[in-house]
Structure 1
Amino acid sequence: MSDALRFVDITEDQLDAVMRVRARSFGVMAAGDREQWLKDARVFIQDGRYVGVADGDEVVAAARFWDFEQWWSGRPVRMAGVAGVVVAPEYRGRGVGSKLMRGVLQRAVDKGFPLTGLYPATTVIYRHLGYEFGGGRYRFSFPAADLRSLGGKEVAVRRAGPDDAERFLELAGQSHTRRRTSGPLVWPIKEVKEWLADEENFAYLAEDGFVVYNWSGSDLCVDELVAGSDATARALWATVGSGSSIASTVQAYISPDDPLHLLVEHEAYKDVQHQRWMLRLLDAPAAIAARGFAPDVAVEADLRIDDPDVPANTGDWHLSVADGVGRLTPTEASGDVLQLGPRGLAALYAGTPVATLQGAGLVSGRPAAELDTVFASATPYMLDYF
């Protein structure tokens, strides 16, 4: 790797160069998407969340990260959502991607993010840097007529728009807290308003729920549906299914544990789409303190973490969980404690059973018996690709 390669903040006058590298990585951007990409890029630049690697004055790699919150067992945790990772073809296989991502990790640490997540184009580089699978994004397909027949006519439903953005966020938060959800993102309200203002999206609001959907070819596709009761769920799904005279199929981004699977008469079609996303802890004590835990289980356990890329995570720690709240404090561990690196820590945080982690060689030593129970939650899932 050339000594001239250096980690840099992307500037506005470098965006054309980034776009050229992006075209070689993802293909040429559609003309209609360019302006929105530039608009978003300027926001990332202003907040120091667009970074790259330059060879001399030439940008040869770049990445950005979103300022998200992500629900973990019913509590939102701040998360840096890494996106748009690109490396010029002639620089691949030379350590440029690792240099870029180590810079991303440090920048996210500096900005106070306890977690970072991403959708991997390849798992190799990200696992090398401490990421591990955290959950999935699932798209199920249902007969539209099944949804239309769900009823819920007693529930009042109205059209919604950008002025309802705060209510949408409030309803989603209430639902995720009640269900102790793990995985979904909390988008900035500006993005939610733009989502609801998009004329290609159809948004409807009930007293305790909402739905946003759109056309996907000849099918309808649900981006998100939140309901505080089965009656509201039936009403909102039936609203989508009312298009069954035109669309025979409704695609839906939902959890594998969503109540819809129990409401519909027939099971979802077999063509389930599943994209896996990866997670990494950047500040282990802060991530543990922010996460929700099973409210009726307590645990006291010592952990030994070895994290070469985020040294502040390295050391002996005492994990204490009680009444749904966790703490990770420095300690002087002794005996056969549970030992793990950043991949094992991320997977444990996401609820992967300890026996699975042992089988993969991601943890060693003796775990506390209650670890699986305190970290367990419904299947972690995301609705959004970023």
Structure 2
Amino acid sequence: MSRVPRATGTMLAGCAAHWMMPQWFGGRPVPVQAIAMVAVDPALRGAGHGGALMRAMLREGRQSGAALSILCPATIPFYRRLGFGRGGVTCQWSAPPAAFTQAGAAASDLWPSDPLDAVPLARLRRPLLAERNGLPERTEALWTLALCPDGEPSHLYRNDDGYIALTPPQDRRLAIADACLTSERALRPAMALLAGFRAQVDHVTWRGGPDDPLALLAGDGVALDAREEWLARPLDVTTALETRGYPDWLSETVAFEVDDGLFSGNRGQYHLTVAQSKGTVTRSGQVIEPPARIGIAAFASLFTGHANARALWRAGLLHGDEKMISRLQRLFCSAACWMPDRF
């Protein structure tokens, strides 16, 4: 992890932290810069220090090889001016323990495990990275945040198909710190484990995606309490397009033009050819068909799959003829983009 300070004279005006990690899109990892802890001295706000700090951070990320920058914002307009767009969601779910009651399921099919050893958990989680959109390949620090959310190790249970980590009940609430339940063989014992807390707690809470398996199987009382958005900012459009994956059944070529007010290297036309789930980009050549046109923030939402091409076109954020819009729709219309991690 690196920290970037911003000073004015001899006074520290602000600071931020960032680190590099892979984040998976379309079944392949993309090099990403994660940004956190952005802060400016309240007495010095409004003087442009925050924008200067973030521009320096983004330039450093691009120079370090990151194709994309992501963050969990306290405010959206500030980051939108820097080229960030909506990248994905984190859903906060809750349900009473009785909602997890499953006939024939036994919590004993899970066994206690060491929450300080993330190696076997990373192996269990890896297939989900390829199936989902937006999940980060966790660093050691992210594993610590996930499994020790309050600085104390959670109670971890797992089998060969998944795991679930629980924090101790507090104020009649049980929080799932982290979970990866890849099949019924892990999901149903995990639900039996949660149902066993019905005498101790009134609610179980957890973070997940829009199609979270616990939410899909839970009975009466399951609720979506919050839906938080995280932001993404393309740093190197060519690298982003060539490292992510695409539908393996699709062979397609599309032309589009990107406008980026910060990185001149991102501005201009792109010809993207996709075959066998891999994309190849060319930046020059004869223009045969009129390209679609899109700003860098809207391209972020298209790239991650948070917004599809037709939704962006209807909102006036993507321009082009029907042929190009349809091609972009096929290339980038994929699984909902989400991640449970907050930083």
Would you say same fold, with TM above 0.5?
A: yes
Classify 1:347/1:284 alpha carbon distance in 2 versus 1 (closer, same or farther; 3 Å).
same
Asked which structure has the greater RCO (Cα within 8 Å, sep 6+), the reply is: 2
Which 5+ residue runs of structure 2 have no aligned equivalent? none
Contact 2:21 2:33 in 1 (8 A): yes
Residue 90 of structure 1, CA deviation: 2.7
Asked if the contact 1:209–1:232 (Cα under 8 Å) also holds between the matched residues in 2, the reply is: yes
Q: What letter corresponds to residue 360 of structure 1 in structure 2? A: A
- Tell whether the 8 Å contact from 2:34 to 2:69 is kept in structure 1 after alignment: yes
Asked if the contact 2:32/2:66 (under 8 Å) is kept, the reply is: yes
2:260 corresponds to 1:329: no
- 1:272 correspondence with 2:225: yes
Moved more, 255-264 or 54-63: 255-264
| Identity among equivalent pairs (%) | 28
More helix per residue: 1
Task: Please show how residues 136-175 of structure 1 align to structure 2 within 5 Å.
Answer: 136-149=89-102, 151-153=104-106, 156-162=109-115, 164-175=117-128
Moved more, 65-74 or 166-175: 65-74
Q: Partners in 1 of 2:137 and 2:98 — Cα distance?
A: 31
Measure, in 2, the Cα distance between the counterparts of 1:340 and 1:280. Answer: 14
Query: Is 1:186 matched with 2:140?
Result: no
2:328 pairs with 1:371 = yes
Q: Residues of 1 paired with 2:242 and 2:191: CA distance?
A: 36
Give, in whole Å, the separation in 2 of the partners of 1:276 and 1:325.
28
Deviation at 1:199, TM superposition (A): 4.1
The answer for the alignment partner of 1:359 in structure 2 is 314
Q: Distance in 2 between matches of 1:234 and 1:303?
A: 46
1:209 positional shift = 0.6
Against the structure 1 CA distance between its residues 217 and 382, is the aligned structure 2 distance closer, same or farther, given a 3 Å change threshold? farther
Residue pair 1:299, 1:371 contacting (<8 A) in 2 also = no
1:301-338 residue CA offsets vs partner (Å, 9 max, x unmatched)? 11111212122212221111222222222123634211
What is the CA–CA distance in structure 1 between the aligned matches of 2:220 and 2:257, rounded to whole Å?
48
Determine if contact 2:157/2:163 at 8 Å carries over to the other structure: yes
4+ residue runs over 6 A deviation? none
Q: 1:222 aligns with which of 167, 176, 188?
A: 176
Kindly indicate whether the alpha-carbon contact (under 8 Å) linking 1:155 and 1:232 is maintained by their aligned counterparts in 2.
no
- State the distance in 2 between where 1:368 and 1:126 align: 27
- Is the CA contact (8 Å cut-off) linking 1:294 and 1:376 kept in structure 2? no
1:166 and 1:189 in contact (8 A); partners too: no
In structure 2, how many angstroms separate the alpha carbons of the residues matched to 1:372 and 1:216?
46
CA distance in 2, matches of 1:376, 1:315: 23
Q: Which residue does the alignment assign to 1:122?
A: 75
Would the aligned equivalents of 1:155 and 1:206 in 2 still touch at CA under 8 Å? no
> What SS is found at the alignment partner of 1:385?
coil
Change in 2 beyond 3 A, CA 1:237/1:290: farther
Q: In structure 2, how many angstroms separate the alpha carbons of the residues matched to 1:56 and 1:281?
A: 32
Does residue 245 (structure 1) correspond to residue 196 (structure 2)? The answer is no
Please say if residues 260 and 296 of structure 2, whose CA atoms lie closer than 8 Å, have aligned partners that are also in contact: yes
Does the CA-based 8 Å contact 2:85-2:297 persist in structure 1?
Answer: yes
| Segment of structure 1 superposing worse, 231-240 or 245-254 | 231-240
The corresponding residue for 1:258 is: 212
Q: Say if 1:345 and 1:263 are closer, same or farther in 2 by CA, change over 3 A.
A: same
Amino acid at match of 1:120: P
Sort the Cα spacing of 1:144 and 1:333 in 2 relative to 1 into closer, same or farther, 3 A.
farther
Match of 1:336, SS state, is: coil
The CA distance in 2 between the partners of 1:228 and 1:308, in whole Å, is 42
TM-score normalised to structure 1 length: 0.81
110, 119, 139: which one pairs with 2:63?
Answer: 110
Partner residue, 1:320: 273
- Contact 2:161-2:181 within 8 A present in 1 as well: yes
Q: Structure 2: which amino acid aligns with 1:362?
A: L
The CA distance in 2 between the partners of 1:285 and 1:222, in whole Å, is 38
Q: CA deviation at 1:200?
A: 4.5
Distance 2:170 2:252 in 1: 47
CA displacement 1:128-185 (0-9 Å, x = unmatched): 11100011111111121121436433973111114641111111111232xx201222
Q: Please say which of residues 116-125 and 189-198 is displaced more in the overlay.
A: 189-198
Provide the residue aligned with 2:338 in structure 1: 381
Return the alpha-carbon distance in structure 2 between the equivalents of residues 132 and 220 of structure 1.
Answer: 33
Tell me, what secondary structure is at the counterpart of 2:83? coil
Q: Aligned-pair distance for 1:85?
A: 0.9
Determine the C-alpha separation between the residues in 1 that align with 2:85 and 2:145: 32
When the two structures are aligned, how many residues end up with a matched partner? Answer: 336
Change (3 A) 1:91 1:193: closer
> For the aligned residues, what is the CA RMSD?
2.1
* Structure 1 stretches lacking a partner, 5+ long: 1-43
**Counterpart secondary structure, 2:198:** helix
Moved more, 120-129 or 330-339: 330-339
